[in-house]
Structure 1
Amino acid sequence: MKRRRARLELVDDRPIRVHRTRFEEERNPPPIQPMTARQAEYLEALGSHPQVIVLGPAGTGKTYIAGTRAADQLRQRRVAKVVITRPNVPSGRSLGFFPGTLEDKIAPWVAPLTETMKERMGEGAFEIAVKAGDIEVVPFEVMRGRTFKNCLVILDEAQNTTPAEIKMFLTRIGDDTQVIINGDVSQTDLRETSGLRTVIHLVKSRMMPIPIVEFGLDDIVRSGICAEWVRAFEEARV
């Protein structure tokens, strides 16, 4: 009995070694570092303005930085919620072909943002936030009547909004909210005037204090292949 008690006491006296889990490490990533001068301008604008418009071709980090910003703001409790939306204008298959609810249908289209957030926050933290309603994907079809307060709202693929749609979106914005409008005016799938072009015109003509960050072909960081093809299509005007 004494030998058993001594063994138990020895075990109890051992120092407990705490191992950091992968989940904990993912919740404390280092600050994002800009890869180009334009990315640095984008990050500075996000840190100092409630509304930011970011334009440019694929592969420049527009969506990645927006998703990372959203994840960090939510993780640090600087906003109560992240709202993600985009217009339902297909460049290929119609939204109606996808199964499930309207929210399920739009989910694949906002995957670039949600996957970035998941990678930044950690999958577990991301799923908890989604279930708690702290991350919400809001289709344009159900946006009317909503007010977004104390949150970060990202409008992706804004070039595919109509003027009426982007007006409806911007008039949903409440207090203590940051808005990121992301798009590429050269890649609209609309047959009518782009709402993004309308907003850019209003900001510039009225000299509104909203930064417009414009990425170019030299800002593409995704890969050399991506840059080569974007440049080829731009030069061919396709």
Structure 2
Amino acid sequence: MSVSESASRRIPLQLSLGGTELQALCGPGNRVLLRIERYYQVSFLGQPGDWMVEGDQAAEAVQAIRRLQTHLERYGELSEVDIEGAMKDEGGTQAAADVLIAGRRHICGKTPNQRSYLKAIRSKTLTLAVGPAGSGKTYLAVAAAVSAMNSNRVERIILTRPAVEAGERLGFLPGDMQQKVDPYLRPLFDALADMLGVERMNALLEQNRIEIAPLAYMRGRTLNDAFVILDEAQNTTREQMKMFLTRLGFGACMVVTGDVTQVDLPRHQQSGLLHALKVLERVPDIAICRLDARDVVRHQLVEQIVNAYEDDDRD
């Protein structure tokens, strides 16, 4: 091994953090450091905050720690998503101008694809996003919607999903309409509650500034001055997708998200999302964003599961 190669395997890392901040950066029981060690196959040698990082990807590990330090100094906390995102972020530290203030959360794209996705939402009237579970396509869309409403760029948020498991015939389910649609729209409620808190979310629902409804209830409407999100769009038919897209009104922004590997429609029906990706590719003011396993920022096993299924599909 040459001298330069040897040097690249051992990189000093000194952090100017107080004891509380350093403890938060390392995590309980050094959980954050251990995760970075496993991800990059490196070792942190020495005392906390004054390390020698050893391994073939020592430079990448140091950059990840620096990104986490910047985030911690800026926002005072680190979430699991922040930790996973720091290891996938090839673009360096996040510019403050690119951070969405969505209720009580400061949210930004953790990977280059996620940042491109948010940029598309800001610059285009309609954005179609496809990607696997955990790639942020729904959560980031909801964050953009909350940010847009809080800054008065839109008057309301409308969130919808196709209730395909019930054939969009919800009458046989027990309870009132809210109870009927809850199982299909729960992921959207969860994202809103995370950003706004349950009390604030419920208040906005009562004021009708946030509306959550099955896709079938969009028929015949014109959606003006609204941020509209269609989630799980891979389970729309061509006719349903056309119906939804033509609800677009003045001053509105639309985001359509889905995972084209998880279509639950009957075999004889083509996914409306797959069709839309083909026919709308060259229409002005429409962006198409494709996320993949590299953008998954859930538990580390989720990315491995996604990759395993993709490998099996190719075989």
Q: Note whether the superposition's TM-score is higher than 0.5.
A: yes
Shift of 1:121: 1.6
List, as ranges, runs of 4+ consecutive aligned residues in structure 1 with deviation greater than 3 Å: 26-31, 94-98, 206-209
Shift of 1:96: 5.9
Question: Cα 1:40–1:27, aligned 2, differ >3 Å: closer, same or farther?
Answer: closer
Correspondence for 2:111? 36
- The correspondence for 1:164, drawn from 239, 264, 271, is 239
Correspondence for 2:135? 60
Correspondence for 2:272? 195
- The correspondence for 2:287, drawn from 211, 219, 224, is 211
Question: Cα 1:150–1:207, aligned 2, differ >3 Å: closer, same or farther?
Answer: closer
Distance in 2, Cα, partners of 1:28 & 1:106: 24
Question: Cα 1:227–1:27, aligned 2, differ >3 Å: closer, same or farther?
Answer: closer
Provide TM-score, normalisation by structure 2. 0.62
Correspondence for 2:306? 230
Shift of 1:140: 2.5
**One-letter identity of the residue aligned with 2:238:** P
Correspondence for 1:113? 188
Correspondence for 1:78? 153
8 Å CA contact 2:235–2:271 kept in 1: the answer is yes
Q: Secondary structure at the match of 1:186?
A: coil
Question: Cα 1:187–1:227, aligned 2, differ >3 Å: closer, same or farther?
Answer: same
Shift of 1:189: 0.7
Distance in 2, Cα, partners of 1:56 & 1:113: 17
8 Å CA contact 1:66–1:154 kept in 2: the answer is yes
For each residue in 1:78-112, what CA deviation from the matched residue of structure 2 results, as whole angstroms up to 9, or x when unmatched? 21111111111129xx9566422344322222221
Question: Cα 1:152–1:223, aligned 2, differ >3 Å: closer, same or farther?
Answer: same
Q: Determine if the alignment matches structure 1 residue 136 to structure 2 residue 211.
A: yes
Distance in 2, Cα, partners of 1:211 & 1:229: 28
For each residue in 1:153-172, what CA deviation from the matched residue of structure 2 results, as whole angstroms up to 9, or x when unmatched? 00000010000001111111
Distance in 2, Cα, partners of 1:143 & 1:158: 14
Question: Cα 1:106–1:29, aligned 2, differ >3 Å: closer, same or farther?
Answer: same
**One-letter identity of the residue aligned with 2:192:** M
Distance in 2, Cα, partners of 1:189 & 1:63: 18
Moved more, 63-72 or 173-182: 63-72
Stretches of structure 2 lacking an aligned partner (at least 5 in a row): 1-100
Shift of 1:27: 7.7
Correspondence for 2:257? 182
8 Å CA contact 2:160–2:215 kept in 1: the answer is yes
Shift of 1:30: 5.2
Q: Secondary structure at the match of 2:261?
A: helix
Provide TM-score, normalisation by structure 1. 0.81
8 Å CA contact 1:29–1:120 kept in 2: the answer is yes
Quick check: which one's strand share is greater?
Answer: 2
Stretches of structure 1 lacking an aligned partner (at least 5 in a row): 1-25
Distance in 1, Cα, partners of 2:198 & 2:151: 16
**One-letter identity of the residue aligned with 2:275:** T
In the alignment of these two chains, the number of paired residues is 211
Moved more, 64-73 or 94-103: 94-103
Q: Secondary structure at the match of 1:52?
A: strand
Moved more, 37-46 or 82-91: 82-91
Correspondence for 2:36? none
Identity within the alignment, %: 36
Distance in 1, Cα, partners of 2:283 & 2:131: 21
Distance in 2, Cα, partners of 1:36 & 1:171: 32
8 Å CA contact 2:161–2:185 kept in 1: the answer is yes
8 Å CA contact 1:27–1:122 kept in 2: the answer is no
Question: Cα 1:31–1:140, aligned 2, differ >3 Å: closer, same or farther?
Answer: same
**One-letter identity of the residue aligned with 2:295:** D
